[in-house]
Every structure is written in structure tokens, then in C-alpha cells.
Amino acid sequence: MISYKRPEKFVQRYYTPNEVSVHNTIEDLWISFLGKVYNLTPLCDQYKGDVLLKPIIQEAGKDISHWFDKKTRDIRSHVDPITGCIIPYTPSGRFIHIPPPCPSSDWANDFGRPWWRDESYVVGYLSQKTRTVKIINTLTSQDQVIEVCSEESMMEILQRYLVYNSHAASYTWKYNGNNLDIHKTLEENGIEDEDEEFYKLSMNDDTFLPAIHLYFNDDLTEA
């Protein structure tokens, strides 16, 4: 049986692009870039009504890695064709904490770290590869297809599944008859990612999802 004790507060480490995409309003705005997920809702609250928020709002729920230089992790730059100076490259328009192209009396740079370098906005990491698995409850014969992050351990996948079965930790989790190690990922547990093979063979991978079987232990003390 998976040995599990519900933590007082579970901190999710990885997010799928779909999970980020639902946070797409000014009252609840997330974005991702360069592998991390940011909750910019406090930034939107702070600068509410500022026209410089518009480019960020337009990208709510999306990945904006193309705004950044991967080596410096800073905003991409280019040579201004008018002034000949190197300035931030913002094709979607200037945004919060980006200085104006020319000196301006209303520009204040006393905001501290620019938001893209402020780790306080980070809520987790963006999964580099998501996977879809089918979890079958052998007691009820019900199955649930869920999207998970390939980087997640089985314990983290269990956390995702708790919304469908609050007693999930009172089951033995198996794949192909073998007990799963809660500290390992799907791949480390021998559940290989065959998406690429299905793609090459033009097969519908939904039909061939890896199936994890849950066997009830008749013990709810862990749930």
C-alpha cells in the first residue's frame, strides 16, 4: 500500500500548460516563461489601470519565453532604428518595468527588481512534457483519465487523483502487476512514455493509455 499521510498543505511543484491557461484574467493572472510559472495577480493589483499592463494581460495564461533571452534570462533587446541605442525588444508593446525609449520625466525606476526577476511571483515549474494516464479503481470499476507532469513522483500524481477519490492512499497502486514506488516518476516506475511511437504509427494514443490499477486495502486510516 502507498504509505501516505496527508500534509497540512501540499505544495504543487509542477504545472501543465493547461493548468496555467485557466488563470487568464486580470483578477487571476498566471504566465510561464523559461520553465517557471508565475502568478502575476499581485502585480496586476499593484498597477491596476496602468496602460503598461495591457501586453501582460494579453498573454494571460500563456507562455512568454519568446520575450526573453535564454542565456541572460532578461528581456530580449535590439538596436532602435531611430536612436541607434540598444533597447528592450517588446513587439507587443512596452510593459510594466520597461523604461521608455527616450528620457521621460514621468519614468520612475525605484520599483526594485523588475517583475520577471522577482522570485516571489514564482509558484512552480512548467512541465517540459505532460503525460496522460488512466487510473482504474478495481473496487468500483471506475476509471479516470488525467493529465500529469512527467517530472512528478507517484505521490504527486496521487495528489492530483485525490479530487476523484479522497481515499486514494488506502489503495495499492500497481502497473502490470507490480507495486509502484511513490517516490519515483512514471518513467522510473517502468511506465514508459510511448507518445512519440504512437505519433509515428498514426495511432490514437487515447486508446493505448498506460493503465494504473488501484486495489482497495480495506483500510481507510491513511486517507
CB atoms within 10 A of CB 30: 23
Question: pLDDT tens digits for 68-117?
Answer: 999 999 999 999 888 888 999 999 999 999 998 877 777 888 889 999 99
% pLDDT > 90, the chain:
74
What's the chain's average pLDDT? 89
104's grid cell: 521621460
218 in the Ramachandran plot: left (φ > 0), alpha (ψ -120 to 50) or beta? Answer: left
201 in the Ramachandran plot: left (φ > 0), alpha (ψ -120 to 50) or beta? Answer: alpha
Question: pLDDT tens digits for 122-141?
Answer: 999 999 999 999 999 999 99
Integer Cα distance of 161 and 171 in angstroms: 12
Fold of 15-126: Flavocytochrome B2; Chain A, domain 1 (3.10.120)
CA 108 to chain CA centroid, Å, is 33
pLDDT for position 208: 72
Integer Cα distance of 37 and 55 in angstroms: 17
69 to 12, 80, 116, 207: CA distances (angstroms): 27, 17, 12, 40
Going from N- to C-terminal start, the domains of the chain cover: 15-126, 129-216
Asked if residue 203 has pLDDT above 60, the reply is: no
| Contacts with 139 (C-beta within 8 Å, 6 or more apart), sequence order | 171, 214, 215, 216
**From 3.10.20.90, 3.40.50.720, 1.25.40.10, 3.30.1380.10, which CATH number describes the 129-216 domain?**
3.10.20.90
pLDDT for position 40: 98
pTM: 0.87
CB atoms within 10 A of CB 3: 8
